[in-house]
Amino acid sequence: MTDTDADAGWFSPLAAEEAGRDATDAARDRIAEDEADRPLDWSRRAVEAGFADSTDEYYDRLKDATTRATREAVRERERADDAQLIHAVRAMDDSERVANELAERAVEWAGSLFDDVDSGIDGAREVAAREPESEVERRAVSLAARAAELDDERAALAETIARVAPAVAPNLAEMAGPELAARLIALAGGLEPLAKKPSGTVQVLGAEDALFAHLSGRAPSPKHGIIYTHEYVRGTRPEDRGSAARALAGKLTLAARADHYAGERRAQLHDDLRERMATIRARADDDGSDAPGAGDE
């Protein structure tokens, strides 16, 4: 009986192959990239499949393969740099914008050809699945398919950002989430420029229009820029949002500095911010219990 794919260990495809110089490279790749639905008794299976003569030899080979795979994966993840992250986040935004534009055009067109066409990307996906019956239908369906593919690309870019950001800036990515971390780095023009900015600047990154309106005397100072998307700001009641944005920006600045200058995770930073946010949010509870007639929620 042969293994099904789901029940294949890292060594399974290798066992049949001739052990050669390439075998160790292949083993490393399989450790790094393969998956399985469930663990099995791999050492016994490896010996049965002839991959190793004994359990001891199996563990020796496993040691070699895991060490190589992990060393190379570490090197690769550490090589990821902020410039790549900036490209990725800008490409993601472009993909999203163009996907929406194309989808809108495609469903508008399709609406004149088919019944029941929904709007947006979802509508475009439905159109893309149709069987066209004329030259014109073929073009509309094809355009919808491009929009759907572009939306897939946006999703793939988001996944890449989620993987790369923690490698480029572990503290910033943990604190802000990978996407916001990437946007802050992109807005600042890199991790180093971000690390060198005062926290008041980080607080309003992405709110340049509002900031210049304020500086020319036309508006109040903005309380927050892109960091508004962070749950600590958005999820805090409006009267405390300024404090929340200031606290978050302060710690994000320290996180960017730790990432740029040290590159190591600083647990204390994250604990400090959580405590600070808990204090700020507790104000709402205090006010709620003091104010007569105010609800608990």
Number of residues that bind other proteins (CB under 8 A): 43
- Residues 138-197 within binding reach of other proteins (CB under 8 A): 166-167, 170
- Pick the piece of the chain touching other proteins (CB under 8 A) from 36-44, 94-102, 103-111, 186-194: 36-44
Which member of 16, 17, 50, 67 binds other proteins (CB under 8 A)? 67
- Which among 260, 251, 264 has a CA at the least distance from the CA of 194? 260
Should residue 133 be labelled a site residue for other proteins when binding is judged by CB under 8 A?
Answer: no
Should residue 40 be labelled a site residue for other proteins when binding is judged by CB under 8 A?
Answer: yes
Torsion, CA 89, CA 92, CA 93, CA 96, rounded to 10: -170
d(CA 291, CA 79): 54
Minimum CB distance to other proteins smaller for 26 or for 73 = 73
d(CA 78, CA 74): 6
Minimum CB distance to other proteins smaller for 45 or for 125 = 45
Should residue 284 be labelled a site residue for other proteins when binding is judged by CB under 8 A?
Answer: no
Minimum CB distance to other proteins smaller for 39 or for 295 = 39
Should residue 281 be labelled a site residue for other proteins when binding is judged by CB under 8 A?
Answer: yes
Minimum CB distance to other proteins smaller for 36 or for 91 = 36
Q: How near is the Cβ of 237 to other proteins at its closest, in Å?
A: 15
Minimum CB distance to other proteins smaller for 96 or for 174 = 174
Q: Which residue has the tokens 């066209």?
A: 132
d(CA 270, CA 250): 12
d(CA 55, CA 64): 14
| Cβ atoms < 10 Å from Cβ of 120 | 14
- Residues 248-277 within binding reach of other proteins (CB under 8 A): 263-265, 267, 271, 274-275, 277
Minimum CB distance to other proteins smaller for 14 or for 249 = 14
Q: Could you give the 3-state DSSP secondary structure of residue 258? A: helix
Output the 3-class SS for 60-124. HHHHHHHHHHHHHHHHHHHHCCHHHHHHHHHHHHHHHHHHHHHHHHHHHHHHCCCCCCCCHHHHH
Where along the sequence are the contacts to other proteins (CB under 8 A)?
Answer: 8-10, 30-32, 34-43, 59-60, 62-63, 66-67, 69-71, 73-74, 77-78, 166-167, 170, 263-265, 267, 271, 274-275, 277-278, 281-282
